[in-house]
Each structure stands twice: as C-alpha cells, then as structure tokens.
Amino acid sequence: MREEENKRSSQSSSVKRFFKKRWVFPAIYIASAAIILTGVLWYQSSAGDSDKYDYKSTDITGKKTNPPAVEVNSALENVKMPVKDAASAVIKTKFYDFSAKAEDQEAALVFYENTYNPNTGVDITMKDGETFDVLASLSGTVTRVEEDAVLGNVIEIEHDKGIVTQYQSVKDIKVEVGEKVKQGDVLAKAGQSMFNEKAGTHVHFEIRKDGVAVNPSKYIDKPVSTLQEVTPSNSKESMQTPSEKKQQELEDPAGSDDQSSDKETDGGKTKEDESTNSKEKTNS
C-alpha cells in the first residue's frame, strides 16, 4: 500500500514539476494556435476547391432551394372565342377571304348604305338569339372604348407584336381605356349595330396584325405565336370599315376630291368620244 501511495505521489509531483517549467505553457499555446491555424487554412482550401468546380446550392446534400417561378404571359395563350359557351355560338357572318370561293365571298359581304362591304371579322351570335357576355380573347391593354352608332360601340385591345383584337356591336361596357385585362375577362354584352342589322344580337370580332384584318377563324384555339408570325398581305383599303373610310375622308379630303374629279374627267372623255363618233357617223 505504501509503495502504491509512494508511486502516485511521485507521479503527481513529477507532473507538477513539469508544469512549473517556464516553457511548458508557451509551448502548449503555440501548439494549440498551430492546430487552429492549420484547421482554418484547410477549411479555406476546401472551400476554394468547391468554387473551382462551380458547385450549385442544389448540389449540396440536404440543402433545398426553390427554383424561380416561371411567369405565364400572354405569349403562351391560345386565341379564344370571345364567348363563354363556344358550343352554343354561331358565326352568322364569316370573314371575307380574298382567296375563298365566290359563294363564300358573297356570303361574307355586308350590305350597308347601298354598298356591299367585305366583312373584316366574324359576327358571332347565340343559337337562342339572346344577348351574352363578350369576353377578352387574349390578355392585353384596352386602348379604345368608343360609342359608335353605326358599329354599335367599339372596344379595342392591344397585345404583343402588332396584334389588336376589336369587339364591335357591344353594350353595357365594363372596361376603360388603359385597363389591363386577362383572357376571359368580361368586356361587355353583345348588342346590335346599324352596319349589320341582319345579324341581330351579336358581337363583331376582329383580329388585326400590323393594322390589317386577318381571319379569326383560322387562329381560334391556336397559340398566339402562330398569329405573331403572320405577315398580312391584304390591302388595308379593301378591308376598311365604313367608319374608317369616313375618318380617312375627313383626314384626307383632297384624296377623295381627286378620285371624284378623275371619275368626272373619265365621264367627260366618254361623252366627248360619243359625240365625236356620232358626228362622224352623221357626216358619213
């Protein structure tokens, strides 16, 4: 027992003597600092390697990131009929297509003020003949809301890349100029127009690309991108509505005067030619 106690006391005394030496604690501090510094340098080195290999946050195990939400814009929309119940809708008057058959072109003419006018859109009615909600065919910005006795009021919505949709023969208008609308928003109620009285309660729906009317029936339920790629070739003058023609006459009265003077001149020449021919016949 005494031997064991002597051993323990000698060990503790040797430890105490060791720590009493002046260089022990500085050595411990230096060694600890060296270990800490080595760990810091190793960590920085490993972090630099991860940047070198361009690791993404999603590559780190256990770290979850939410990918940015993809915004659904009007470029991904399909062109829709401007009515809620397309199955009950009837196209009363079709679009006048210059490449269509003669009978189809004749059916697409609208008689107004003793003149046959090519229909620049489609006139849509319901089977029961009642009024209905007129919906936005595409998302866009309302650029025109106009009272027009001939056309039965007009709403115009502008879209991307030169595309404009127009809604005529409407009443109880719900939108204002400058308002942004989404596809399917209610714009107004179907009404009547003086321009196409035979159509009854209807909405006249137009699609224009770069100012030229195109056939809406060709693009219904198709991506709007197909319409954006269209390069219209029809003459703007041949597809003008009566109000547009009147507006052009007001803006350029000289043009209409020149046309009328040309007609009078042509008529005068014809009469002179006829009188000359009659004199020659008399002399002979």
| Ordered per-residue pLDDT tens for the chain, 284 residues | 556 655 566 666 666 666 666 666 777 778 888 888 887 788 777 766 555 555 454 444 444 445 444 334 556 899 999 999 999 999 999 999 999 999 999 999 999 999 999 999 999 999 999 999 999 999 999 999 999 999 999 999 999 989 999 999 999 999 999 999 999 999 999 999 999 999 999 999 999 999 999 999 999 999 999 888 877 664 444 455 455 555 555 556 555 454 444 444 444 444 444 444 444 444 44
The H-or-E segment that residue 111 falls in is: strand 109-112
Domain spans, the chain: 2-52, 74-241
Are the CB atoms for 52 and 90 separated by under 8 Å? no
Question: Rounded to two decimals, what is the model's pTM?
Answer: 0.60
**Regarding the domain delimited by 74-241, which CATH topology (the fold level of the hierarchy) does it fall under?**
Glucose Permease (Domain IIA) (2.70.70)
Question: What does 27-55 look like in DSSP terms, one character per residue?
Answer: HHHHHHHHHHHHHHHHHHHHHHHHHHTT-
Distance separating alpha carbons of residues 236 and 240, to the nearest angstrom: 6
H-helix or E-strand containing 248? helix 242-251
Q: How far apart are the C-alpha atoms of 73 and 186, rounded to whole Å?
A: 19
